[in-house]
């Protein structure tokens, strides 16, 4: 296999609030292979957005390294760094906030082209803007090119932000909850278009979402990484994670989600947590941060040692899981709720 396009090595990130230090990311390790579909999934506060920002170097890590095409991005200088910035783009969640309301679609798409000198003169820029709008299915282009964001629907705005991310011909795009604010009926169309971009333009997409069903759809042929309170707790092939989740948190999550099918959802077995309270990031429990809620908690193990992401000895699946009982090859024993 070719070397990964991106690799995070022991990445930590904390924020200061007054005298408090909030550890938002702890020891994140994963690689993104070129042209794979990778999805980071987790609930609010798990650190998925911070991870996305760190990948794009919009935030520096507190510790650890990010390697893009094998090179540590903190060491890139001058032309090399500019090339990295062009190669990695982000699509934000909220198309109402991420587009400048005083710029027309054409202006929004022209600035990066001019800034990076990517399209020659005026005529070149205009032509490229046309191509980009065609790529994101905003056609006929004439109907959109001179519009301001407020004249567009949410779905159309999000297409403009995708087009903007494509202006610099990136090889990696981080899509952070990029369809969550769009109506259900058009969400899948937007996602399908993004998936097509991989084949048409050779872009690798890291998709960040809180919605596991959406993650499953997007990364069906790829991988899912599940995050909990700043750590990656499970990373593996999507189809295996959905069929046979390993980490207790993933198991609970999958059992909790309602399905759009009355009979299935009402007959689903829900795994009860030991506690419903989510610990604060500033008061993380010792050992595994999931242990106070985990129905399979092992006293004297889970509350003492922090688990690392590791392959499982017994499992057939190639999933990596951060859970000490599993790592030791133990069968999980369910506590009574």
Neighbours of 85 (CB within 10 A): 15
Stretch that binds other proteins, among 2-10, 32-40, 110-118, 179-187 (CB under 8 A): 179-187
Cα–Cα nearest to 206, from 158, 172, 166 = 172
Which of 23, 33, 76, 189: binder of other proteins (CB under 8 A)?
A: 189
In terms of DSSP H, where are the helices of 244-334?
248-256, 262-266, 324-327
On whether the CB atoms of residues 2 and 70 are closer than 8 A, the answer is no
Cβ proximity to other proteins, 2 vs 267, nearer residue: 267
Stretch that binds other proteins, among 11-19, 49-57, 105-113, 186-194 (CB under 8 A): 186-194
Output the DSSP codes for 47-76. SHHHHHHHHTTSS--SEEEEEETTEEGGG-
Please give the structure tokens belonging to residue 35. 């042209």
What residues contact residue 159 under an 8 Å CB cut-off, 6+ apart? Answer: 136, 137, 138, 190, 193
Q: Restricting to residues 261-320, which ones interact with other proteins according to CB under 8 A?
A: 261-266, 270, 273, 276-278
Smallest gap, in angstroms, from Cβ of residue 183 to other proteins? 4
Smallest gap, in angstroms, from Cβ of residue 317 to other proteins? 13
Binding residues for other proteins, total number by CB under 8 A: 43
Stretch that binds other proteins, among 31-39, 167-175, 185-193, 198-206 (CB under 8 A): 185-193
Q: How far is CA 29 from CA 21, 60, 251, 255, 304, in A?
A: 22, 16, 22, 26, 22
Q: Restricting to residues 198-237, which ones interact with other proteins according to CB under 8 A?
A: 210, 212-214, 216-217, 220
Which of 259, 304, 305, 310: binder of other proteins (CB under 8 A)?
A: 259
Cβ proximity to other proteins, 43 vs 94, nearer residue: 43
Cα–Cα nearest to 133, from 124, 143, 123 = 143
Cβ proximity to other proteins, 68 vs 217, nearer residue: 217
Cβ proximity to other proteins, 52 vs 155, nearer residue: 155
Cβ proximity to other proteins, 128 vs 293, nearer residue: 293
On whether the CB atoms of residues 208 and 232 are closer than 8 A, the answer is no
Smallest gap, in angstroms, from Cβ of residue 214 to other proteins? 6
Q: Restricting to residues 58-87, which ones interact with other proteins according to CB under 8 A?
A: none
Nearest-5° angle of CA 238, CA 25, CA 72? 85
Cross-sheet strand order for the sheet of 37-41: 88-91, 172-176, 204-209, 37-41, 223-228, 231-237, 320-321, 310-311
Q: Restricting to residues 126-155, which ones interact with other proteins according to CB under 8 A?
A: 153, 155
Taking each helix axis from N to C terminus, what angle separates 122-135 and 184-201, rounded to the nearest 10 degrees? 120
On whether the CB atoms of residues 172 and 50 are closer than 8 A, the answer is no
163 binds other proteins (CB under 8 A): no
Smallest gap, in angstroms, from Cβ of residue 96 to other proteins? 12
Cβ proximity to other proteins, 132 vs 152, nearer residue: 152
Query: Where along the sequence are the contacts to other proteins (CB under 8 A)?
Result: 43-44, 153, 155-156, 183-190, 192, 210, 212-214, 216-217, 220, 239, 242-243, 252-254, 256-266, 270, 273, 276-278
């Amino acid at each position: 296999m070719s070397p990964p396009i991106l690799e995070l090595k022991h990445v930590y990130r904390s924020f200061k609030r007054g005298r408090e230090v909030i550890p938002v990311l702890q020891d994140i390790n994963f690689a993104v292979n070129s042209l794979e579909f990778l999805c980071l999934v987790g609930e609010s506060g798990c650190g998925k957005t911070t991870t996305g920002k760190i990948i794009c170097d919009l935030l520096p890590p507190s510790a650890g390294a990010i390697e893009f095409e094998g090179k540590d991005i903190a060491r890139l200088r001058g032309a090399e760094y500019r090339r990295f910035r062009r190669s990695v783009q982000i699509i934000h969640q909220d198309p109402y906030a991420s587009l400048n309301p005083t710029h027309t679609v054409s202006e929004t798409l022209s600035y990066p082209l001019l800034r990076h000198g990517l399209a020659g003169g005026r005529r070149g820029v205009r032509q490229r803007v046309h191509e980009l709008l065609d790529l994101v299915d905003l056609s006929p282009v004439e109907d959109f090119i001179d519009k301001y964001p407020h004249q567009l629907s949410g779905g159309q705005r999000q297409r403009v932000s995708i087009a903007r991310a494509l202006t610099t011909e990136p090889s990696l795009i981080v899509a952070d909850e990029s369809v969550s604010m769009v109506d259900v009926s058009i969400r899948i169309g937007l996602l399908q278009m993004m998936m097509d971009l991989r084949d048409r333009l050779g872009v690798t997409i890291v998709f960040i979402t809180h919605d596991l069903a959406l993650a499953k759809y997007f990364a069906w042929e790829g991988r899912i990484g599940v995050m909990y309170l700043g750590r990656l707790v499970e990373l593996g092939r999507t189809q295996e994670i959905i069929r046979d989740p390993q980490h207790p948190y993933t198991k609970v999550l999958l059992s909790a989600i309602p399905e759009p099918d009355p009979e299935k959802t009402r007959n689903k077995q829900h795994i009860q947590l030991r506690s419903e309270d989510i610990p604060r990031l500033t008061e993380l429990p010792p050992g595994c941060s999931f242990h106070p809620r985990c129905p399979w908690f092992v006293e004297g193990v889970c509350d003492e040692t922090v688990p690392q992401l590791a392959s499982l000895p017994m499992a057939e699946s190639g999933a990596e899981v951060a859970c000490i009982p599993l790592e030791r090859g133990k069968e999980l024993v369910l506590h009574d709720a």
